[in-house]
Amino acid sequence: MQTYSYFNENISHTISCNEYSLNSIDYNTLKNIQFKEDFEKRYQLSYKIEYELDLHKFELIITLGQGSFGRVLLVVFEQNKIEYALKVLDKSKIVKYNQIKHVQNEIRILNAIRHPNIIIMHSLFKDNSYIYVLMEYVRGGDLFSYINKLKVFQEHITLFFAAQIVLVFEYLHFFDIIYRDLKPENILVDHHGYLKLADFGFAKQIQQRTYTLCGTPDYFSPEILQSKGHGKPTDWWTLGARMPI
């Protein structure tokens, strides 16, 4: 067992990988036809806009991240005093950068999926200028920050992390969803050391192959770079090529 202190906080995180178990989903149950039908119903339904919510009901704490057409804020909901991550998307920039389809896909997928290693979308609301996606707050930060601190992970830690991503991809691929943007910045680490996959902007439900050039250039799989069409194998390639050892 090894203990590391991350960042400049008086908090230590202990990761043990000799024996561990994940509260994963029973994949024999996943193969039940009714389970897949329930997913399809959630995916096809229009996502619910919470008109009773607005930005004034949240206390802004800090900005957690910044993107090309939005940012993520740490907020506290006044009614229950619970911390959330609030993704704020600028409507004008979504249109300017031709991201309407990607935003719709992300919201539909997050609304439909249920997995312990995928970030939870709690609610959705909007105003004239912005779309607000209310998500769970994962306190540990992203995997990219841990890599910058440690530089290299020991093999048993890498295997522990990789096993969780394998479960996520197995789950997503069962529903014909490809993720297409696996990178340390999109992997969050909770306070127990377990992973949460976030940012489904490039995720897509497919039947066979898709030819869209998307993702992060530094993490493109060969088939995306060569524009030959790609599918589920592109996720596995990125996992194998990019996990830090």
Which residue ranges form the domains of the chain, and what is each CATH number? 2-20+140-242 (1.10.510.10), 27-136 (3.30.200.20)
| Model confidence pLDDT, tens digit, residues 139-192 | 999 999 999 998 888 889 999 999 999 999 999 999 999 999 999 999 999 999
Active site residue 26: no
Given a cut of 70, whether residue 23 has pLDDT beyond it is no
Average pLDDT over residues 129-141: 95
87 labelled as ligand-binding?
yes
Share above pLDDT 90 across residues of the chain, in percent, rounded to a whole number: 53
* More reliable by pLDDT, 141 or 28: 141
Distance CA(78)–CA(144), nearest Å, equals 31
Annotated active-site residue in 181, 190, 218, 235: 181
* More reliable by pLDDT, 52 or 244: 52
